[in-house]
Structures are given as structure tokens and as C-alpha cells.
Amino acid sequence: MPQFHPLPLRWTGTLPAGDLAPLNCLYGGGAGMPALTGAQIPKGAQWPSVRVNKRGGAEAGPTGAPWLNANGWLIRRARHLEPGKPVVIDAQPPAGARPGSYVLAAVEAMTYGAAWAVTHTPETWPGVRGAIQFFTAHAEWREWAPVAALTVVSDFTGDDEFLGDEFLNLLTRRQVGLRLAAPGNVAALQGAGAAVWASKKPVPYAQYMGWIRSGGTLIVQGEANSRTEGKGRVIGRAEEWDDVYAAVTGTHLAMTRRTDVLRLWNAGSFNSFYQAAPDGRRGVAHLVNYAGNRSSDDTSIWLSKPWKKATLTTLDKQTPLKPMATNGGIELSLPPVGVYAAIELEA
Amino acid sequence: MITRRGLLAGAATAALMQQRAGAAPIAPVAIQRCRTYGAGLEPTMRRLFDGIGGLGRLVNNKTVAIKVNLTGRPSQRLGHAPAELAHWTHPRVIGMAMHLMNEAGAKRIRILESPWSTTDPLEEYMMEAGWDPSLILNAAKKVEFENTNYLGNAKQYTRFKVPNGGHMFPAYDLNHSYADCDVFVSIAKAKEHATAGITLSMKNCFGITPCTIYGDGAGEKEPGLVPVGGRGQVIHSGARKPSLSAPQELHPDSPRDGGYRVPRVVADLNAARPIDLAIIEGVESMAGGEGPWIRGTRRCSPGFIIAGTNAVCTDAVATAVLGFDPMAMRGAPPFEHCDNTLALAEQLGVGSRDLTKIEVAGAQIADVRYEIRKA
């Protein structure tokens, strides 16, 4: 767990005027604050947004849901691979980026426990600062565990990089609660219901058999691998693992939506990240809106755990929500959500 | 654009079709007032089916296929309302119909729908919407689900020829499930429709066309393996052809207008695969269109259920209950921008829309009339 959480400003030369707290380091060679050190800066970070086609419309996938340029999966991979090293997202605004998208860049990174190397402009800084202060006040969330229905087993590097990354990206888009584990780390599956083998390495079945026989479900490529083992099973999917979209769809079917921990309605431009405190008494479901503005539709959310109390917390206010018991969990009707909302939960 | 010449030619074709089809059949229609999906639903639906002579004569020892109405994406709602309170048939109505069919001796009940742009099993699609499919699965003794938006469990599509020629296509290639049943039931939600004016038991069957053949992403020569998108290009606008493996349009020079094309395709489909039992649910619904993607739509509570063994008669009664004239032609509500599907189906000999000839059991039209345009 990182002791120091960097909040970097991307700057060269003399610092911009005004109060820069809580920023605490510089990225880019400026003077006047300590330089950013000791952080990992994953390659390939994107400016968070809904992907737009040449005609200016949202690009959509096969199901009609818009494609998102999102970094949540990248942050989660980085934190998994080097848990002791804080993560900084290096993404610069494109020309003409709206002020709200700067706030989106800040909240997206901090939702997943990282920080954005802030691009400072006088117009956008107040909003970005508010977002950083909000997450600084909720620093404990960084260490809460994800509420997961599935563990993605992969090296996430080398031969597994593409497969592992795409599994993370696409499963996140389907709002599947997930956690990450390295091949062979069977202990990481403790308490997990299902795991998917998103690795090019052969499955060491013998190593995983104890977990499977005690009730675990291991999802692998190749129909011929399907079998029951003790209280658990191996589900072999027919989809080619090289077609990761098909593989992820097949994985979600193998888990079945019955194991979903979170569902969203009227939230096509949202990704979610659902976490719980170690004692299970509190939780938070983050909603990040990549459209970067106030949602036009009334969003609803369902959580599989029957939380007693829920509060919608945005960057500037709190609204109590009325949990409605349904399908073993609760459903919450949300007011229009802007760039970001946290649903704070109490058991 | 519809020209005067086109109108005259259409009228002549309609007269010829009607002549070929002979007198349109007529069957009684039952109406019941129903305000909620609660405990009163069972006795209400029993009375409903008693009003059309009971279910036993229809389903005893038969395989029943039920096309439900789950239009649009499961992640889309009208405001915060669960889909079943706005644009989808309510699972309790589906479950209750199945329970009563089971009691009446149905041998097997298959739930069919062509969910949006996916080959996912129907159960998964329902769960994505927040439904618990076990409520439907446990409503009768032998229940199956099938996604009919692609080839599904069969080796080939089944060709359904349109009797008396057809308006748009001479025949349609459909999932096997619409042939592999003894009794075909449409359980629809009563709603207005942006393209067809109104959507009832017949329009529900628009969704029996697999998007692998009739969808925007259908294969050019052969059916696609997976359905991609809706039916906008092939059926609504006629901008592209269905897969060439399927029968092609009868009149490729006909208007490329959804208000012309969609009602004709719906009429064709209902002639090719007639509905044996039409159930129209308007307990809770929506006004202004068929789904939340239509601007200006809003929730409403019509408070009725209607059933009949002839889909045109049943839809005609439901049309009247919703405050419209089933005899209205293009230009009059709800057909301001489209042709009247009921008239087109009548021309094909599917059934009569003439309310003066249709016997209504249970509540009467005036008792439950709900002017949906005023909701």
C-alpha cells in the first residue's frame, strides 16, 4: 500500500498563480514543488470521453452501448502489478476539451485509486480542485476491496497483455464486478465464486482443483474442458479467445447475470466501480459519466447486497436515497447524475 | 411519398386481395378491467379466458409458443420505471397466462422473443432488465425459452409463405420456433407506435423476424451468425435488402417509407404465422410511443387486459378501447403517418376489424375506454 499519494501538477517553469493545494508535486519539470517520484505512469492512458466518430456521433459497439475511452482498467492493472507504487495518469486534454472533461479526468483517476497529472487552466482549476479535495477527504476508499463476481486470472503483461487488458476493459464496460489475480496465485481466489483464465499459459488444473472442488467455477477457453469437479465446475467456452469481445460475452454468460453484483439502467455512458470496507459494513458504488455532463435520463442502479442506507454523494452535495428491496438486493432511483456520483452505502 | 396514383393502385390491389381472401374471419373478444398486477390478476385472467371459451380447447395436450413483447434494450427504462411498467409485457401476466395454460393441459410452453442485437439466452436478457426468469420458468411444468433473433436451436430457418400473395414479401424466413408449436400466442403491451400508429398483438409479431436476415447487420447473401442492430434499414426504410437467401420484396419500387412498409410487413407476418391467441396487456403502459427512445413518451395506466383468438378482431377492440377507430385510414388517428395494419391484415383474410360484427365478452369497450392520447 503506497504511503504517499502523489497529486501532481503537470507544469514547466514558474508555478501558476493561486492556491494549488492539495496538489503536492510536479510532473513535467517545473519548479516550486517537489518533483513527482516513485509513481508508476502506465502507458496508453486516454483522455476520458465517449468515443466520437467522424460525423460527431457516439461510436457504439454491437449492442448499441457507446464505446468509452476509459482508464479505469489501466489503473486497476497497474495497481495489481505493482501494489506498492502509486499510479499517475498521464492524459492531456485534446484541443477544445470542455471544462467538465477536466473534472472527469480527475474523478476517473481517483475513483480507481490513482491521480491525474493535472493540466491547469484558470477556468478549469476550481472544478478540478474540488474533485481532488473530495477524493482526498475520502482517501479510505482507495484501499477498499472491489465487490467482485469474477476474478480475472492473467499475467497482464507479455503474452497476456492484450488478452488481460481487453478482459478488464470490456468486463468493466459490462459493469461486471471483478478483481485481478496472477496465474498460480490460488490464494487470491479465496472466497471468489468464479474466475476466468485470461492467460495464454496452460491452465494448471491440479493447482486450482481444491478451489474448484470446494465450489469455485473456473471459466476457460475450449468447450471440451467443461466438467463438474466436486461442488464446482470448469466451464469451457466455445468462443475463440482471440476474439476478446466474444470471449468476454461468453464469460459473462458462463457466470450468468444471476451473479451480477451491480446493474445500471439509462446509463449508457457510465462505468461503475463498486467497493466495500473490510468489515463489510460500508460500501461505495462510484458512477463515472464519460459523457462528461449532466445525464439526461433517470438512472437506476441495482446492488446485489441488501444495504440498509444509501446516500448519493456528488462533488458538491449529498442526497439521501430510498432503497427498494428487489431480487435479493436493493434498487435505487437516482436523480440526474453529472460527471460523477458516489453512492455511499451502509449495512 | 405516397402519390395519388399509388393510392389508387393500392386500393385496386387491396380490393383484389380481399376478393381472393374472401370474408375475413371473426371471433369473440373478451375484455377485463385490471388495475394492478397483484392478487386480483388470477381471477381476472380466468374470467378473461372464460370469455373466449376457455383455454382447454386451445392448449390441451399442445405445445404452446408465446411471443412476448420485450422491445428495445434491457438497460433502457422510461424514467425509473422498470420495463414491465412501461413498454414490456409484465412477467406476472406472462406467468399467469402460462399457469392457466398449464392447468388447461398445455404439454409444453415455449417463451419466444428476439432480443435486441444479441444471441444471449432470453433468461440472461430478462435478468439484465432486472427480472427473475425463475418466476416464468416455474409458472408451468415444462417451460423453455428461445431467442428467435437468429437461427437458435435449429439447423435452418423455416420459410413461412404469406397466403393471398403478401403485401411486401411473398414469404419470410423465421426461427424454427414459430413452426415447431401447435398453438401460437402473442402477449403484447398496448401502446402507441411512432411508425405504425399503434402496437398490439399483431405488431408484437414484427419481432419474430430474425435480425440475422432482416436486421441492419444481416448477411448480404446468407443470414448472419449473430443479430446486429434493429430492422431499420431492411424493413422500416427499405434502404437495403434482407439476406438474399430469403424471399425478396414483391414491389421494389414501392415507397421507402416506414409508415407504408411496417404495417404491410406486420400484416404479412400475421397472415403467414397466424396468432391463435392474442393477449393484450394494458394494465400499466406508456403513451406517446412504443419505448423510452421515443421523445415525449410518458407512463400511463390504461387498466385493462384483452384476449381473443383472432388477432385482427382482438386488436380492433383494443384499438377502440385506446380511443381510436379501427376503421380509420391513413391520415386519421392513430394512423396520421402510416397505413392501418388492421386493414392490411383484413385484406389478407386474417380477420375482421369491424366492431359491429365482433362479439365482446366481459366488460364492454365503453366500460374500459382509455384515451391514450390524452394520458
For A174, nearest residue in chain B (alpha carbons): B128
**d(CA B229, nearest CA chain A) in Å:** 7
Q: Please judge whether A64 and B77 are an interchain contact, meaning their C-beta atoms are less than 8 angstroms apart.
A: no
Eight-class DSSP state of B171: E
Do the strands B304-308 and A300-303 form a parallel or antiparallel pair, or are they unpaired? unpaired
* Cα–Cα distance for residue pair B45/B49, rounded to 1 Å: 6
Low-confidence ranges of chain B (pLDDT < 70): 1-21
* Cα–Cα distance for residue pair A312/B367, rounded to 1 Å: 45
Closest partner residue to B80 (CB to CB) among A258, A264, A300 is A300
* Cα–Cα distance for residue pair B156/B213, rounded to 1 Å: 12
Cell of B220: 448480404
DSSP assignment of B78-114 equals BTTB-GGGTTS--HHHHHHHHHHHHHTT-SEEEEEE-
Q: Please judge whether A249 and B77 are an interchain contact, meaning their C-beta atoms are less than 8 angstroms apart.
A: no
Helix (H) / strand (E) containing B300: strand B298-300
Interface probe for B, chosen from A257, A301, A324 (most Cβ of B below 10 Å), is A257
Interface probe for A, chosen from B84, B125, B127 (most Cβ of A below 10 Å), is B127
Q: Cis before residue B255, ω within 30 degrees of 0? A: no
DSSP assignment of B129-161 equals HT--THHHHTSSSSEEEEE-SS-TTSSSPEEEE
Residue A327, chain B, CB below 8 Å: the answer is yes
Q: How many CA atoms lie within 13 A of B71 on its CB side?
A: 30
CB atoms within 10 A of CB A44: 9
Low-confidence ranges of chain A (pLDDT < 70): 1-3, 54, 58-64, 296
* Cα–Cα distance for residue pair B258/B339, rounded to 1 Å: 10
**d(CA A302, nearest CA chain B) in Å:** 8
Judged by phi (left if over 0) then psi (alpha if -120 to 50, else beta), residue A280 lies in left
Q: Please judge whether B118 and A63 are an interchain contact, meaning their C-beta atoms are less than 8 angstroms apart.
A: yes
Q: Nearest-CA neighbor of B313 among B338, B283, B277?
A: B277
Eight-class DSSP state of A40: B
Residue A64, chain B, CB below 8 Å: the answer is yes
**d(CA B74, nearest CA chain A) in Å:** 8
Residue A264, chain B, CB below 8 Å: the answer is yes
Cell of B187: 402477449
Classify residue A260 by burial, with Cβ atoms within 10 Å: 0-12, 13-18, 19+: buried
Residue A67, chain B, CB below 8 Å: the answer is no
The pLDDT assigned to A31 comes to: 87
Give me the long-range contacts of A226-233 (CB less than 8 A, separation at least 24): none
The pLDDT assigned to A30 comes to: 79
CB atoms within 10 A of CB A258: 15
CATH assignment of A262-346, among 2.60.40.1180, 1.10.287.110, 1.10.238.10, 2.40.128.130: 2.60.40.1180
CATH topology of domain A148-259: Rossmann fold (3.40.50)
SS3 at position A335: coil
Q: Which of chain B's residues have a Cβ under 8 Å away from the Cβ of A331?
A: 130
Bridge partners, B292 (sequence order):
none
Cell of A302: 441495482
Query: Which spans in A14-91 are helix H?
Result: 72-81
Q: Please judge whether B124 and A65 are an interchain contact, meaning their C-beta atoms are less than 8 angstroms apart.
A: no
DSSP assignment of B354-374 equals -TTT--EEES-HHHH---GGG
Q: Please judge whether B80 and A257 are an interchain contact, meaning their C-beta atoms are less than 8 angstroms apart.
A: no
Q: Please judge whether B77 and A266 are an interchain contact, meaning their C-beta atoms are less than 8 angstroms apart.
A: yes
Q: Which of chain A's residues have a Cβ under 8 Å away from the Cβ of B296?
A: none
The pLDDT assigned to A292 comes to: 84
Check if the interface score ipTM surpasses 0.90.
yes
**pLDDT tens for each residue of A92-109:** 999 999 999 999 999 999
Closest partner residue to A298 (CB to CB) among B79, B118, B127 is B79
Under 8 Å between Cβ of A87 and A40: yes
Per-domain boundaries in chain A: 8-143, 148-259, 262-346
Closest partner residue to B130 (CB to CB) among A63, A64, A302 is A302
Residue A66, chain B, CB below 8 Å: the answer is no
**Which positions ≥6 away from B354 have C-beta within 8 Å?**
B26, B316, B327
* Cα–Cα distance for residue pair B137/A232, rounded to 1 Å: 24
Q: Which of chain A's residues have a Cβ under 8 Å away from the Cβ of B226?
A: 62
DSSP assignment of A152-202 equals EE---SGGGHHHHHHHHHHHHHTT--EEEE-TT-GGGGTT-SEEEE-SSSP
The pLDDT assigned to A296 comes to: 67
* Cα–Cα distance for residue pair B103/A81, rounded to 1 Å: 59
CB atoms within 10 A of CB A83: 9
* CB contacts < 8 A (A, B): 52
The pLDDT assigned to A60 comes to: 64
* Cα–Cα distance for residue pair B80/A332, rounded to 1 Å: 9
Q: Please judge whether A266 and B75 are an interchain contact, meaning their C-beta atoms are less than 8 angstroms apart.
A: yes
**Which positions ≥6 away from B170 have C-beta within 8 Å?**
B161, B162, B247, B250
Q: Nearest-CA neighbor of B147 among B128, B160, B130, B166?
A: B128
Q: Please judge whether A298 and B77 are an interchain contact, meaning their C-beta atoms are less than 8 angstroms apart.
A: yes
Q: Which of chain A's residues have a Cβ under 8 Å away from the Cβ of B130?
A: 263, 265, 302, 326-327, 331
Under 8 Å between Cβ of B59 and B183: yes
For B131, nearest residue in chain A (alpha carbons): A327
* Cα–Cα distance for residue pair A97/B326, rounded to 1 Å: 53
* Cα–Cα distance for residue pair B315/B203, rounded to 1 Å: 9
Q: Please judge whether A253 and B121 are an interchain contact, meaning their C-beta atoms are less than 8 angstroms apart.
A: yes
